[in-house]
Amino acid sequence: MLVAASEVAGFAKTGGLADVAAALPRALAKRGNLTAVVMPLYNSVRRSGMPIERTRFVLPVPMGDRVLACRVYRSHLPNTDVPVFLIEHKPFFERDDPAAGRGLYQAQGAGGGKEDYWDNGERFVFFSRSVLELIPHLGFPPDVIHANDWQTGLVPVFLNELYHLSPGYQRIRSVFTIHNIAYQGSYPRSLMNVTGLSPALYNPGQLEHYGFNLLKSGVVFADAVNTVSPTYAREIQTAEFGCGLEGLLSGVHWKLTGIVNGCDYEQWSPAHDRFIAAPYTPETVFERKPLCKADLQRRFGLAEDPAAPVLGVVARLVAQKGIDIVLSAARGFLDLGCQLVVLGDGDREYHDQLRALRDRNPTRVGVYLGFNEGLAHAIEAGSDLFLMPSRYEPCGLNQMYSLKYGTPPVVRMTGGLADTVVNATVENLADGRATGFTFGEYSAHALYETVRWALTLLRERPKDFRQIVRTAMAQDWSWDRSAEAYERLYLKIIG
C-alpha cells in the first residue's frame, strides 16, 4: 500500500487530511499491511523536527518537454517502521514560511487576503507524477496506490494512461479519497501540456469540467472512490453538496463508498495528553477537567470563572466551518453568561471580525489566529462545549476529539457530524445514548437555541449532562475499524 497525500501530520499540516494521512497508514501497518507514505518535502517538514535522511534516489519527473529531477528523502511515521518518502524539489515545495504569511498552498496576497500559489497546478502535477516514479524504489511492490484529494487526483490517471503496461505497475490498482469536494483543483486547459497525457483525454467525460479538473480526474480514473463518511457520500451526489460534480458522482455510485475517519487516540486522549494542564480519565473527568478549564481561561486572559460555560472552536476559518453563524450568535452566547475561545487560521474577514469581538469583550472572548497544536488540545480539554456548526463537513475530526475529551460537541447535522454525534433528545437521554447536541437549519438562531438547550442541561440537569460526558468519552472511533473498512475496499479492487 502506498498512501499519497499533500500533507501528513507530524510533518506538515493544514487540516484533517494530514491527520488521516498519518493515522490510516499507521493503522494499516499495525494490521500487517506493508505500507508507505509519500508527500512533498516542504520547509515545514524540515522544521518539524522529524529526522529526515537523504536517499540515493533521484527521480526523473517529466513535465511537458522538460524532465525535472527530484531527490527522494526518507523518514518514518513516529513510533512505527512505516516509511515516509519525501519528494524534494525546492522551487516547488520549499517556499512555506508562516512568519511571512506563506503556507503550503497559499500565501498572503497584496490585499492582505490569502491567495493560492499561481503555480499550484504545476506543483501537484509534478508531485503526482513523482509518486509513480517512486514505485520502483519503495522496496516492495504495492498492490494499491491510495491518492487523496485534488493534489493527487492525477495519480490514478498517470497509472492507467502512462504506467500500467510497464513491469512492476501492471497489478497496481488505485483508490481515490475525496476529503472535501469544494476544493477541486481546477486549472486552464494549458496545464495539460505539462502532464504528458493525451490531449484526447481532455473531454467532459474524463478530465474536463469547466477547465482541467484534477479532482474529477481522480474520480474518473480510480478503481474505487470513497469519501470520509457515509452521509457525505450520499450528500455529494446532490446539487446542494456536489459542487457541480453531483452528476459525475451519482454516475459512479457503483464504485463510491463512505468510510468514516478514525480518531488517533495516541495523539488525542485526555488520559495521556502532554499539552493539557491536568490529564484525566472517565473516572477523574469531573475533578480534573475544571483544572484544564481554568488553565484555558488563564491562557486566553479570560475571567477565571468556573461558572461561566466555555464554548470552544478550533477550525480553519473558512465558510465551510460556520464561523459566520458563531459570530452572529456570539452576543447571545455572552448574554447567556458564556465565554468563547476560538483557535483558527483562514480568511481575513473572519480574522478581522473575531479580533473585533475579542477587543470588545477581552475577558470573555479569547481568540488565537494561527496554527497551534498544543492550544487545540487545551481547547478540547478545557471547554465545556465544542462548537462545530459546519455548513458541510465531509467527516470532521474535532468533534471526535471532543467526544473523547468529554466536551460535548454542538454540531450541525451534516456529513460525518451526522454520523458521529448522537443528539441529546429526551429519548436519547433516557436511553443513555446521547453524546452531544445537533441541529439542522443553518442559522445563528438554530445554533443559539441548541447551545441554550445544552446549557439548560449543564446548569439545571447536571446528572443528564454528566451522563452525556460519560457516554461521549466511552465512544470508540479508533482507526482500527476504519482501517479494516479500507482493507476490504483494497481487497475488492485487487480481486
Residue 55 touching ligand ADP (CB under 6 A): no
Residue whose Cβ sits closest to ligand ADP: 16
Question: In Å, how far are 230, 368, 390, 431 from 283, measured between CA atoms?
Answer: 33, 31, 31, 21
N- to C-terminal Cα distance for the chain?
15
Query: For residue 71, what are the β-bridge partners?
Result: 58, 88
Which one of residues 83, 394, 409, 436 is an interface residue with ligand GLC (CB under 6 A)? 394
Question: In Å, how far are 37, 65, 124, 350 from 81, measured between CA atoms?
Answer: 11, 38, 27, 41
Residues 6 or more apart whose CB falls under 8 angstroms from that of 99 comprise: none
Residues 329-368 that bind ligand ADP (CB under 6 A): 343-345
Residues 397-416 that bind ligand GLC (CB under 6 A): 397, 416
Residue 396 touching ligand ADP (CB under 6 A): yes
Quick one: which segment of 10-18, 70-78, 268-276, 477-485 binds ligand GLC (CB under 6 A)?
Answer: 10-18
- Compute how many residues bind ligand GLC; rule: CB under 6 A: 14
Nearer to ligand GLC, 193 or 320 (CB): 320
Nearer to ligand GLC, 227 or 471 (CB): 227
From ligand ADP, ligand GLC, none, which one binds at residue 343 (CB under 5 to 8 Å depending on kind)? ligand ADP
Provide, rounded to whole angstroms, the least separation between the CB of residue 274 and ligand GLC.
23
- Compute how many residues bind ligand ADP; rule: CB under 6 A: 18
Which one of residues 262, 396, 406, 436 is an interface residue with ligand GLC (CB under 6 A)? 396
Which one of residues 29, 245, 341, 395 is an interface residue with ligand GLC (CB under 6 A)? 395
Residue 179 touching ligand GLC (CB under 6 A): yes
Provide, rounded to whole angstroms, the least separation between the CB of residue 355 and ligand GLC.
24
Residues 242-261 that bind ligand GLC (CB under 6 A): 261
List residues near ligand ADP by CB under 6 A.
15-17, 19, 314-316, 343-345, 371-373, 376, 395-398
List residues near ligand GLC by CB under 6 A.
15-17, 20, 179-180, 228, 261, 393-397, 416
